[in-house]
Each structure stands twice: as C-alpha cells, then as structure tokens.
Structure 1
Amino acid sequence: MSGHDTLVVGGGIGGLAAALALTRAGRQVMVAEQAPQFAEIGAGLQLGPNAMRAFDRLGVHAAVIDAAVLPARAVIRDAVTGGELTVLDLGRPFRARYGYPYVVAHRHDVLSALLDACSAEPGLELRTGRTAIDVQERDEHAEVTFADGEVLTAGLLVGADGIRSQVRRLIDRSPPRFSGHVAYRGTITPSQLVVDPPPDDVTLWIGPGIHLMQYPVRRGELYNQVAVYERPASEREPRGDAEEFHAAFSIAHRKVRESVALLDPHRDWPVHDRDPLPSWTTAHAVLLGDAAHAMLQYLGQGACQALEDAVALADAVSSQPHCQDRARRQYEQRRVARASRCQTVARPWGDLWHTQDATLLALRNRVFRLRRPDDYTDLDWLYADPAKDAA
C-alpha cells in the first residue's frame, strides 16, 4: 500500500487540468489513467470563452489556440430544407463581451497541450495502465485498488474517471441515463466536404429526431462531423442501429445525407448523462467532470465545465490549505449549482433541436430567424466572467 498527498483517477482533459492546477497550488499529485497512453476518445471539441479563461489560468491558452480554429460564426440550418435559421457572430463583438474567443479543436491537441504542461511539473507523477476497480473511504484517507492488486491511498482523491466513475460510487451507485440519442462521429479532409460553408464556420443542421454538427479542427486541416439520431421510443436500448441511423436521416437535405454517408455507420456512441447530484464530495474525495455532472452535448459544455471544476478545486485547496473540509465545501458552493444547471438545460435544448411537433418547430424557426447575430443575452450565464460580475 502506497500513500499519496493527492491522487487523480482519470487522465482525460479534466483530470490533467485538475492535476496541473493542484500541483501549482502546492500539492504533490499523481495521475492514474487506465488507458495504456494518455488519449481522448473522439475528435472535435467546442471550447467556449469560459473554457479558454480556464486554459489561460492554467498557462496553456496559447498552446491550445495554436493547434485550433477560431470560427467566425456559428450557423444553425434546417436539416430538411437546408435553409439558414440563425447566425451567431463569434467575431470581435463576441470576444469583446466575454474576453476570450470561441474555439474549436481536436481533442488530442487539447490533451497534448495539457500533457506537455503536466510533464514539465516536477511534483506531478503521470502513470498509465492503472484501472481502478474499487474505492473505499477510510478514517484518514481514501483508498483505491487497481486491477493488478496495487492499492494506493490519498489524503485527497479526485475522481475524474468519467461517466462510469469508480470514485463516484462513494456517493452514488445509480447507473447513467441513456438519452435515447446515438451519435456517429468522424473527421474528413476539406476536400471531402459535400457542403460549401465558409471555412471557419461551425455549422449545425437540426431536424426532426436528427442533427448534424460540422466544424474545422487542427488549424483547418480536418473537419469534425457528429451526426445524432433518436432511437424510436420502442427501441430505446443503449445502442445504435445502422439501418435506423440512415432511415432517420433519409428525410434530410441532400447535402446532409451526403455528409452523413461519410461516417462509419458501425461506430456508434450511445449518449448518456446523469441527474444532478446535491454533493460531489466526501471527507477525502471529490468528483470532477463527467464523474460529477455528465451532461448531454447540446450546450457544448462537457469539457468546459470540467475545466471550470479543475480551476475551482485548485482555488479552494489553495485558499484553505490547512482545512480540507472547508476547501471541499468551497468547491461545491462554487460549482455544483452551475454545472447542475448545464445538465438540466442541455436536455430540453436537445429536445428543441430534434422536435417533431409541427407547431413547436414552426415557432422555434421563427424565433431563430428573428434574433440578431450579435444577440448574446442567452449566453451570458455560460460565458461571462463571474469574477467581473462579482466586482
């Protein structure tokens, strides 16, 4: 049995961000990642100004920007007719309002920026191939047992181990909730694009029971595509079906159908989330990212909220160096309500994208068409700097 000051279980974006922030707050940190190497599943990642603010705090803002794309606009289109519904200007007015840009990036590039920063920290140990199979709370520490029989203890255990977190089992043993939505993801080269959007736009096609998201990543060298369909209510098992997938998109505009045809129909990701938890902590453990607040993708906030968690946790630990109980309460006070709001708002927002109700669809499209590209009022709660609001 080996003891540690701080143990982070999970080496994804949230886990590495937390490890980096906590090390700089004065903790001795070990990261235990179950995969044989640090890697991210999937390709594209949307990073709002709140995420870029966190990256700035972590000192990796420039590295993330260097490998990413700063889109000029976000465009929502009708997936059936192909018509434009609304535009969000992501240029100068947006950046002036929130202090940071909206960024789209490849997940591997973001993880690499964090991994490089973590590797440069002498007090931070990175270990791979460590699969946690059991977590226990003891009087003086938390205890993690790994698949090979190794047992590690920690004064502070950070559960950044995803939606099926072992650390979360200290607080909640309920299973994740299948949304009924199934995603198919992949990247293509610009030459494969069957639509002709301006090169830096984020384009979202929405229709009854379906949507397709497209945007450039890796300095525009690749385009990320994510197509999602809703399984029929009678077939709500957590899996995808290639025939169902193509049938769902058969109603779509030709350009959408041709884009979706470029995705591998045998690589499906059933989409899960969780209900909000009132507490994310025990005496010696805290949850972070999807382990704490797994959410649907419709706000583009999964990674963004994990990054906010990482910074907030380090701030709490730094401000309460001699009282972990106060630190964890401070962390919860800052984060639980905000992340829970993202969880609960994402569900109906996805329902609105996919609505099959003719009246609601007509109303939604009318409201979208009436809004101005520089109307950011519905985004302030997500992107505005809370420190400025407090001042």
Structure 2
Amino acid sequence: MSRSRRIAIVGAGVAGLSLAILAIQRGFQVGVYERNGTVASMGAGVTLWSNAMYVLRKMGVDSEIERAGGAPDYMHQYDQLGTLQGEFDIQAVNALSGFTSTTILRRDLMQILARRLQDLGGQINFGCSMTRDKTDELRQGFDLVVGADGRMNSVARQALFSDSVRPRYQGFINIIGVSQLGEHRLANAIHDIRGGQGRFGIVPVKEGACYWAAAWRAELDKTRPVSDWYDEMDRRFGQFCAPVQRVLDAREASSLNRIFVHDLDPLPHWHQGNLVIIGDAAHAPLPTSGQGACQALEDAWHLACLLDEKSELEETLSNFYQRRIAKVTAAQNVGRQLAQRIFAPDSKTETPVPAMSPQQLSDFWMQGLERA
C-alpha cells in the first residue's frame, strides 16, 4: 500500500486480531476497535485445519495453539445408535500438507491471539460500538478501514451495501457447548453422529475437554425462551448413543448458546474506496463447511501480503477480492450442500462421510497458500 500505512480494524474476532498481528509484523500502524468490553469469543470451539495452521505459523503462534489444543487422528461418522458409518483419516491430510490440524476451545484461541497482539505492541480499543458515522470518521483518519465485524450485524458491510444484503437463515439451529468428560474422554477422533434429521458433532480437544454442537431443522423463533430450546435438544438427542449422553451430562451450563444458523450469498465486491470487509462480514459460511475460522485466517494472510506490496489501494483491494472469492464461495457451497443432505425431510441416516480423498482435501485447503 503506497504512502502511509495506517489501518483501522473494526472487530476483535479471529479475522480482526489475525490481520492486526500480520499487519504489525509488516510495520503497519494498526488500531483495533471492538464493540464489546472483552475480546470476542462467541462459539464453543474451532477446528483449525491445515490452511489455518499455515497462517498461524506465519503469525508465530502455531506452537502455542498446538499446546493448548488437540490433534484428532480421524473423523468418524456414526448413526444415532453408535454404529460406525464412515471414517476419514485426518493424519493423512496432515502428512500431505505438512501441518497438524488442531482443535481448540475458542476462548483459548482468542486469548492466544490477544496476547500475541499485545506482545507486538498492539492494543484493542474496547467499548467502541460502530455506526455509519463513526465508520466514516475512521475512513477520514486512516488509510484503510477493515470491517471484521461478523456475519449478523456488520456495520461495515451495511456501509457497502446498505440494506440490500442480509444474512440468510438456512433453516436449522445449532446449540453449542463445552463439556469436561474426565475419565469418559473420547477416543482421539471427531464424532459426527446423525439420525432423525439431526446431527450431533463432538470434537475432542485435550485432557477430556471437548466442544460440541447439536443441530436440527427449526423455524426461526426468537420469542421462544432459550431454555425451551435446550429442553428440546435433550428430548431430540436423548436416545442417541452413549458419547452424546456423556457430553450432555457433563456440559458446562455457562458455555451453552443457541444459534439460528445464517450464511451469506456470495457478494459482488468487498470494498469501496478505503473500506473493505473480511471474514464472516464478507463471506460467512455455514458451520457444516468446517471452514469459517480457517477462511477468516486466510483472508487476514492474503490481505496483509497484498497490502505490503507497492500497488495503489484500489488495485490491492480488487486483487484481494479476486484472489479469495472462488475459494470462499466453494467453502460456502460445500457447507450448504452438506446441510441440505443432513437436514432435508427425506434425509437418510446412513449417508456416509463425503468421499473426498485426503489428497483432494489437502489440495483444496492449501490452494493459494503454497506460493504466498
């Protein structure tokens, strides 16, 4: 980016903090603005596949992430009675990519990113709720303003598209949580358990901790008490296999969250002038894609690399969109297709893990990163 190198980042989630770290490493002056009073940590946990670990290594935090997280060997799919339906070898993908896919509680991930930013001399301005007027003020005071302010209520996205772009409800909910299983800890495998048009995913982390999500098709009803949704979860999954019961019995009540799952249709552009959006603000995928945080990290990496070049800002931001749009759209499509198979009224419980080879998956995840 020619001339000065001052960047304002709106949002202290995965995308915002990662871009701040990568930009400071390149000598940019960065201000991070977060509406909450602490670092955002919505979500129970994150699976950081090889593409995410590539970026985290560039940020200098991959070893700390691996120490705090787990490294699953397999993904196993079961029917609701616990009969194995399919298996995917995560170790094979790791070997092909050269990175260890890592599972971590989101609160631990965010603490690591926040510490890394602090160690580099960066800081977060908390309690800064954004409005269109405040966004315009930032655009006057900084060379670039980056909206990393989430999928649902992105002020930066609204500044680009007004009310013409809204997240779309995809017809199912997730109830997410964290459990401490103690002596009943899972084998070192991600569990994908399907039945009765519902899905229960369990992701082991370390030392008996896991995070999980219970999902089923539902009408969008925000008037219903959240506790009713939790009761429905217990009824729906009450006859599922033993690992589900152990997880539900050991859940941390404070970790529970009910989410009406939305995503975004692909957008025609992500910037205007010196304002650009990244991460979920630009291309929020469904959780069934498994790539939300991973693609946010890729955004941060590619944008930081492009900004470090000497092109004019308009060319840089146009190149950023062109570099990223095909891959993030593919991740969005994968998430939607899988959700349709799982939650369709005529879905079958025996649908196996998608037949994608470790080589194909590694190639897709690492696309665009080997040369960066």
Q: Percent identity?
A: 26
Deviations 1:109-149 (A, max 9, x none): 21122112111223x33211111122578xxxx434xxxxx
- 1:178 equivalent to 2:169? Answer yes
216, 227, 234: which one aligns with 1:229: 216
Aligned to 2:34: 33
Tell me if the contact between 1:278 and 1:336 (Cα under 8 Å) persists in the aligned partners: no
Stretches of 4+ aligned residues off by more than 6 angstroms: none
Aligned to 2:364: 382
Q: Which moved more, 1:286-295 or 1:173-182?
A: 173-182
Could you tell me how far apart the structure 1 residues matched to 2:318 and 2:289 are? 27
192, 199, 203: which one aligns with 2:191: 203
Aligned to 1:115: 114
Could you tell me how far apart the structure 2 residues matched to 1:258 and 1:110 are? 25
Could you tell me how far apart the structure 2 residues matched to 1:245 and 1:109 are? 26
Could you tell me how far apart the structure 1 residues matched to 2:131 and 2:317 are? 24
Per the alignment, do residues 270 and 375 of structure 1 end up closer, same or farther by CA in structure 2, a change over 3 Å counting?
same
Per the alignment, do residues 281 and 261 of structure 1 end up closer, same or farther by CA in structure 2, a change over 3 Å counting?
same
1:237 maps to amino acid: D
Aligned to 2:313: 324
Q: Which moved more, 1:35-44 or 1:304-313?
A: 35-44
Tell me if the contact between 1:209 and 1:248 (Cα under 8 Å) persists in the aligned partners: no
Per the alignment, do residues 378 and 384 of structure 1 end up closer, same or farther by CA in structure 2, a change over 3 Å counting?
same
Tell me if the contact between 1:295 and 1:346 (Cα under 8 Å) persists in the aligned partners: yes
When the two structures are aligned, how many residues end up with a matched partner?
A: 360
Tell me if the contact between 2:181 and 2:246 (Cα under 8 Å) persists in the aligned partners: no
Aligned to 1:70: 71
Query: TM-score, length-normalised on structure 2?
Result: 0.87
Aligned to 2:87: 87
1:85 maps to amino acid: Q
1:101 maps to amino acid: T
Could you tell me how far apart the structure 1 residues matched to 2:258 and 2:183 are? 21
- 1:342 equivalent to 2:342? Answer no
1:69 maps to amino acid: G
Q: Which runs of 5+ in 1 are unaligned?
A: 145-150
120, 123, 126: which one aligns with 2:124: 126
Q: What SS class does the counterpart of residue 131 from structure 2 fall into?
A: strand
Shift of residue 57 of structure 1? 1.3
Could you tell me how far apart the structure 1 residues matched to 2:316 and 2:27 are? 14
Shift of residue 377 of structure 1? 4.5
Deviations 1:224-255 (A, max 9, x none): 12111211xxx343576435434433564465
Could you tell me how far apart the structure 2 residues matched to 1:135 and 1:99 are? 46
1:171 maps to amino acid: L
Could you tell me how far apart the structure 2 residues matched to 1:257 and 1:190 are? 11
Tell me if the contact between 1:73 and 1:87 (Cα under 8 Å) persists in the aligned partners: yes
Could you tell me how far apart the structure 1 residues matched to 2:23 and 2:256 are? 40
Query: TM-score, length-normalised on structure 1?
Result: 0.83
Per the alignment, do residues 216 and 256 of structure 1 end up closer, same or farther by CA in structure 2, a change over 3 Å counting?
closer
Could you tell me how far apart the structure 1 residues matched to 2:291 and 2:327 are? 11
331, 334, 341: which one aligns with 1:352: 341
Shift of residue 42 of structure 1? 2.4
Q: What SS class does the counterpart of residue 275 from structure 1 fall into?
A: coil
Deviations 1:282-341 (A, max 9, x none): 111111111111111012111000000000000110113x51111111111111221122
Q: What SS class does the counterpart of residue 277 from structure 1 fall into?
A: coil
Q: What SS class does the counterpart of residue 143 from structure 1 fall into?
A: helix
Root-mean-square deviation (Å): 2.8
144, 154, 171: which one aligns with 1:156: 144
